[in-house]
Amino acid sequence: MNTDLKVPLGKHLEISGEWYEGQAVGGLGGGIWTSVVYPEPAAPYTAIHPLRSTGGWAQLKVKPARRFEINGAFGQDENFGKDLRFFPTPYSGYGFGALQKNRTDFVNLIYTPNSFLLFAVEYRHLFTAPALGQSASGDHLNLAAGVRF
């Protein structure tokens, strides 16, 4: 299942998002990129189990002035724990353990001084939880410049 949404709320606000749930859908846009698990890294693909997952994202866009845009968003993808525990030690590809959850929150400011230039600053917080082991998180700050053509 998949659904998306884009709703303008007047001249200066917009809400958008996507939600999905399915089996072996790790390659969808915000997904963990894990569609199946297998039992051990030494003999991959001798037995494969598809993963069910659910996820999505939501974004609020605010345009306070013609040349400025502020975006805030939240996104998450989560594999079902029951599927991840199908094998005692689940692996997902390239010999690394399977992931249970990825989550990100971000806010950015975009300035377009004219019709072909844009400048942006973005802060992003990332969180990842493996099927086995300790979770990790990190922060990312990005400055960007772009040309539209």
pLDDT digits 0-9 by tens, 7-65:
999 999 999 999 988 888 876 655 566 777 777 665 656 778 888 888 899 999 999 99
Residue among 92, 118, 121 at smallest CA distance from 107: 121
**Whole-angstrom distance, CA of residue 22 vs CA of residue 38:** 18
Which residue has tokens 């390239």?
94
Could you give the percent of the chain with pLDDT greater than 70? 85
CA distances from 107 to 36, 83, 123 (A): 32, 33, 6
Q: 148 versus 93: which is more confidently predicted?
A: 148
Give the pLDDT confidence of 55-69 residue by residue, as tens digits: 899 999 999 999 999
Query: Mean pLDDT for the chain?
Result: 87
What is the model's pLDDT at position 29?
56
